[in-house]
Amino acid sequence: MKDKIQSILPLALGLIIGAVASTLIQRTLAPAAGTPEEQVAKLEHELKQVRRELNAITDTTKRKRFGATTHDGVRGIAMRVKEGLPVTPDDIFNAFKPLMRDLSPLTERMSVIEASRRGESLAGEYARKYGLDAKQQKELIEHIEANELEKAQAMTALIESDSSSMRDFMKLERESRYESGIDAFMSRALRGENLKAYQIERTNEKAQRVQQDADLYVKRVDDIVKLDQKQRHQMFLYMAQTSSDYEPQMQFDDLMEGTQNLPSGMERNEAMMSVLRQDQRAAYQAYRQEQLAKSQQEAARMGITLPNDWHPDDDSW
């Protein structure tokens, strides 16, 4: 029953957004070419653009940038597609910012409710495993709720910003983890053997994530350039050590003798390329360009223009 209740909140939000978006899209279908309605639509679009520009010049209030509605934005995108003009992911993101802003109080409350449910479950688990008392369980739940509210408010601030992009949105989404800050809380709450047991379990959980991520990355590169065994081991270690979950005390079994630790300050892509031979680097870059061209062609068929630095395997997209 609890699982069913937990699933209702995100489902409800999805239905709300889906229903609103569906209505907006239906309302933004461009009129038939050459009809009076098309001319009226173009004039309305141009008038709204002029109004927005005037508002941007004359209105200095905090919320001036939200004079346009999501309907205005989506209709503008529809017009651009009809006219054969490029539409980028940021255009779509900016078009839906007003709707996301209007729903932000609801999404913030829902995020905290979901965080509270996760906190209750985690508090129960940690009470059983590490002996958290009732006061500590309450503090843990409150800590998780506050952390989730902070993340939700950061997302709202991003949506409120004129300069934020789709890339910023996806990066914040990817970096938001409900367990953020829990390690610090548990380090303060626990003592002795309980603290040691918790730290061992958390390190093992992170090591598993690091290993899975590194193995996946090595597999993808190997499929493109055919790594030898020594390269597989070296790249695995580099990819593991550039993971955000990596900790120096982590140990990985079956690494080949002679495998070197990551040089200080080296980033993931640089580390990956340093393992490859010159001919493999050329093959890898050619593959990336080929995949980028295919993705651009597919996007163009939908009337969307991808960013120049976009690639489907990049973590930032």
Reduced 3-state DSSP string for the chain:
CHHHHHHHHHHHHHHHHHHHHHHHHHHCCCCCCCCHHHHHHHHHHHHHHHHHHHHHHHCCCCCHHHCCCHHHHHHHHHHHHHCCCCECHHHHHHHHHHHHHHHHHHHHHHHHHHHHHHHHHHHHHHHHHHCCCHHHHHHHHHHHHHHHHHHHHHHHHHHHCCCCCHHHHHHHHHHCCCCCCHHHHHHHHCCHHHHHHHHHHHHHHHHHHHHHHHHHHHHHHHHHHCCCHHHHHHHHHHHHHCCCCCCCCCCCCCCCCCCCCCCCCCCHHHHHHHHCCHHHHHHHHHHHHHHHHHHHHHHHHCCECCCCCCCCCCCCC
Span of 15-24, 110-119, 192-201, 231-240 with lowest mean pLDDT: 15-24
User: Cα–Cα distance between 268 and 272 in angstroms, integer?
Assistant: 6
pLDDT-based confidence at residue 210 (cuts at 50, 70, 90) = very high
Between 129 and 3, whose confidence is greater? Answer: 129
User: What mean pLDDT is reported for the chain?
Assistant: 78
Span of 170-179, 187-196, 258-267 with lowest mean pLDDT: 170-179
Whether the Cβ atoms of residue 74 and residue 51 lie closer than 8 Å to each other = no
Between 14 and 259, whose confidence is greater? Answer: 259
Task: Convert the pLDDT of each residue in 76-90 to its tens digit.
Answer: 777 776 777 777 778
Share of the chain above pLDDT 90, in %: 40
pLDDT winner (highest mean) among 2-11, 61-70, 291-300: 291-300
Span of 60-64, 97-101, 270-274 with lowest mean pLDDT: 60-64
Task: Convert the pLDDT of each residue in 142-182 to its tens digit.
Answer: 999 999 899 899 999 998 888 888 888 888 887 776 676 89
In this prediction, residue 231 carries a pLDDT of 96
pLDDT-based confidence at residue 295 (cuts at 50, 70, 90) = confident
User: Cα–Cα distance between 11 and 101 in angstroms, integer?
Assistant: 19
In this prediction, residue 77 carries a pLDDT of 74
Whether the Cβ atoms of residue 225 and residue 276 lie closer than 8 Å to each other = yes
Q: Does the pLDDT at position 316 exceed 50?
A: no
Measured on CA atoms in the order 253, 254, 260, 265, is the torsion positive or negative?
A: negative
In this prediction, residue 312 carries a pLDDT of 57
The neighbour count for residue 70, using CB atoms within 10 Å, is 21
Task: Convert the pLDDT of each residue in 87-141 to its tens digit.
Answer: 777 888 888 888 888 888 888 889 889 889 999 999 999 999 999 999 999 999 9
User: Cα–Cα distance between 214 and 237 in angstroms, integer?
Assistant: 8
In this prediction, residue 274 carries a pLDDT of 96
Residues 6+ apart with CB under 8 A from 2: 117
Task: Convert the pLDDT of each residue in 217-251 to its tens digit.
Answer: 999 999 999 999 999 999 999 999 999 899 998 98
pTM given for the model: 0.66
Whether the Cβ atoms of residue 87 and residue 303 lie closer than 8 Å to each other = yes
* Structural tokens at position 45: 């679009």
In this prediction, residue 76 carries a pLDDT of 73
User: With b meaning 16 or more CB within 10 Å and e meaning fewer, what string describes 262-289?
Assistant: beeeeeeeebbeebbeeebeeebeeeee
In this prediction, residue 1 carries a pLDDT of 42
In this prediction, residue 293 carries a pLDDT of 83
In this prediction, residue 22 carries a pLDDT of 45
Please state, in angstroms and as integers, the Cα–Cα distance from residue 122 to each residue in 129, 179, 193, 207, 286, following that order: 10, 10, 19, 20, 47
In this prediction, residue 46 carries a pLDDT of 56
